[in-house]
Copies of this chain bind each other. A is one copy, B any other.
Amino acid sequence: MLRALMAQLPDKESSFFEWYNEVLEVANVTDKRYPVKGVNVWTPFGFKAVSLMDRLIREKVIPLGYQEVCFPTLIPESELNKEAEHIKGFGEEVYWVTHGGRTELDIKLALRPTSETAMYPIFALWVRSHRDLPLQVFQIVNTFRYETKSTRPLIRVREIHFFEGHTVQLGDAEAESQARADLASFREIAKVLCLPYVMDRRPDWDKFPGAFYSIACDLPVGGNRTLQIGTVHHYSQNFAKPYGISYEDKDGARLVPSQTTYGISERLLGGTIAIHGDQKGLVWPSFVAPTQVVIIPIPGENDPAPLIARAEEVRAELLRTPLRVEIDATEGRPGAKYYAWEMKGVPLRIEIGRRELEEGTLSAVNRLGGRTKLAKGDTAAQVQAALAAYDVALTERARKSFATNVNIARDGPGVVAEKANLVGWCGEQTCAQEVEKRWGLSVLGRLEEAPEALSLGPAPPACIVCSKSGGAWSLAAKAL
């Protein structure tokens, strides 16, 4: 293992994609040697991380009233085609199952690209009365898109690890409240992952196929690139009508409900790696770190046995908390071990040498280099505190680089083509096209809120193209 880990990573600043591909490979998050293009294998290490991301999502959405379900992967062509915009948006990237054994199927089956068209025929059966509303379900499944663009692990893949929340609401106002609650839960998720982001409303021409509106969370990942890591969509009645979902209200009238969805994919993990990783390798926020603490006995010339015994004692205490802890008592130089565990992104390393053993203390070094001495006594509490402090420092580091990566363009000439930009924009498509032409950037949407990491002025500036006022702060960048 160590041999592979001793590889030097490409420079993240100047060669982001090379760095990204290499760090995933060297740290062994996914294996991209699977013999189907754009389809990767989750290794034990990577799957642990993505499972922890799933746990985080569940912890934040279940309290909102969501219940977990699982709908089929296979969707009949007839159901997929019911909502016109939706199929227009997905038709070209759907995988089709045409045969069972040697038998040609009567009706072609799509592999779900997303599950509206699998769920809503059944929602039409589940929703009868206003008492059945709100209906709030989610599933964590794999979805499939025949991507024609170049693929990239965890960012653009053909089989996607995907959380999708779907709700049915009494009306548009209730759907609006649900969307707000979903966005609030996303803020909490991003906070746990120490991620600064931009929350913006997609322009009409770029919203989810079939949506009334779409709000996305975009992560500036260096250069002018942003990564969409989460979305909330308000569908109004756009799906409920073609799928025949209706309910009886208190007065016996039959009404068409309003709907929302909430989506987060493995991209959130890809973005977390992209933002926090550095020249030494992965850097995990403590919640999703497959291993949170590694304990390394450093015997030097002495007998390692008492140090290993002490390490096991500390691990046993931490496991009860519960924390995810490993001991590295393999042979080898401490330096090489540090290197390997740093590559894996372990948040906290505990070193036990002879002095620590005699004093009953522990030396702790976090993944950002911060050192602490853990005193005799409640080790678990001190480790939890060290991890909390580490997450704060990681957030701070990410915010600083966010503030550097995102340019605040108060007027036209202030736009920097090589960065993500916050610009004034009037909302017109012609001006967005002009931004594309002049700077090679897409207007991804107008801000829903001022990013915490930046201080924007009190009022949005005039449109950087047409100079009209009354527009909004908007994100102009290249979407990955």
In the bound complex, what is the Cα–Cα distance between A103 and B37 (angstroms)?
Answer: 15
A70 within 8 A of B: yes
Are B97 and A33 touching (Cβ within 8 A)?
no
Q: With A39-B72, A72-B159 in contact, is A102–B97 under 8 Å at CB?
A: no
Interface bits A34-47 vs B (CB < 8 Å: 1, else 0): 11100111111001
Tell me if A332 is interfacial: C-beta within 8 Å of chain B.
Answer: no
Interface residues of A in 171-212 (CB under 8 A from B): none
Closest B residue to A36 using CB positions: B74
16 CB < 8 A contacts A-B: A34-B71, A35-B79, A41-B71, A42-B69, A47-B69, A47-B70, A51-B68, A73-B111, A73-B142, A74-B144, A95-B97, A96-B97, A96-B99, A97-B111, A98-B98, A101-B148
A44-B72 CB under 8 A given contacts A93-B101, A101-B91: no
Cβ contact within 8 Å between A92 and B99: no
Distance in Å from the Cβ of A94 to the closest Cβ of chain B?
Answer: 6
Residues of chain B lying within 8 A (CB to CB) of residue A334:
none
- A44 and B69 within 8 A (CB): yes
Q: Is the CB of B92 within 8 A of A122?
A: no
User: Which residues A91-125 have CB closer than 8 A to chain B?
Assistant: 91-103, 109, 111, 118, 121-122, 125
Shortest C-beta distance, A152 to chain B (Å), equals: 16
Contact with A35, one of B76, B93, B100, B137 (Cβ below 8 angstroms) = B76
Name A residues whose Cβ lies closer than 8 Å to a Cβ of B: 31, 33-36, 39-44, 47-48, 50-51, 67-76, 78-79, 91-103, 109, 111, 118, 121-122, 125-126, 137, 141-142, 144, 146, 148, 158-159, 161
Q: Tell me the nearest residue of chain B to A94, going by C-beta.
A: B101
Q: How far is the CB of A183 from chain B (nearest CB, A)?
A: 23
Closest to A147 in B: B100
- Oligomer: number of copies: 2
Complex Cα distance, B74 from A146, in Å, reads 12
Q: Give the Cβ gap from A279 to chain B, nearest Cβ, in Å.
A: 27
Known contacts: A39-B74, A73-B159, A146-B101. The answer to whether A33 contacts B96 by CB under 8 A is: no
> Does the CB pair A41–B122 fall under 8 Å?
yes
- A102–B87 Cα distance when bound, in Å, is 13
Residue of B nearest to A131 (CB): B1
Interface of A is mostly: mixed
Q: With a CB–CB cut-off of 8 A, which chain B residues contact A40?
A: 72
Q: Known pairs A47-B70, A51-B68; list 7 more (Cβ under 8 Å).
A: A35-B76, A41-B70, A41-B122, A43-B69, A48-B68, A70-B161, A103-B146
Q: How far is the CB of A404 from chain B (nearest CB, A)?
A: 36
Q: Which residues of chain B come closer than 8 Å to A111, judged between CB atoms?
A: 73, 97, 111
CA distance A73 to B79 in the complex (A): 22
List B contacts of A93 (CB < 8 A).
100-101
> Is B96 a contact partner of A98 (Cβ separation < 8 A)?
yes
What residue in chain B is nearest A79 (Cβ atoms)?
A: B35
Q: A33-B122, A125-B31 are in contact. Are A159 and B74 (CB under 8 A)?
A: yes
Alpha-carbon separation in the docked complex, A148 to B121 (Å): 25
Distance A111 CA – B146 CA, assembled complex (angstroms): 15
Bound Cα distance A36, B106 (Å): 11
How near does chain B come to A429, taking the closest CB pair, in angstroms? 27
Assembly CA distance A125 to B4 (angstroms): 14
Query: Once bound together, how far apart are the Cα atoms of A69 and B122, in whole Å?
Result: 31
Could you tell me the distance in whole angstroms from the C-beta of A397 to the nearest C-beta in chain B? 31
Bound together, the chains give a CA A137 to CA B96 distance in angstroms of: 30
| Chain B residues within 8 Å of A97, by CB | 95-98, 111
Which residues of the other chain, B, contact A42 by a CB distance below 8 angstroms?
69-71
Docked CA distance A69–B40 (Å): 11
A103 CA to B309 CA in the complex, in Å? Answer: 61
Give the docked Cα–Cα distance between A36 and B117 (Å): 13
A34 to B111, CA, bound (A): 15
Contact between A95 and B91, CB atoms less than 8 A apart: no
Enumerate chain B residues within 8 angstroms of A73, measured Cβ to Cβ. 73, 111, 142, 144, 159
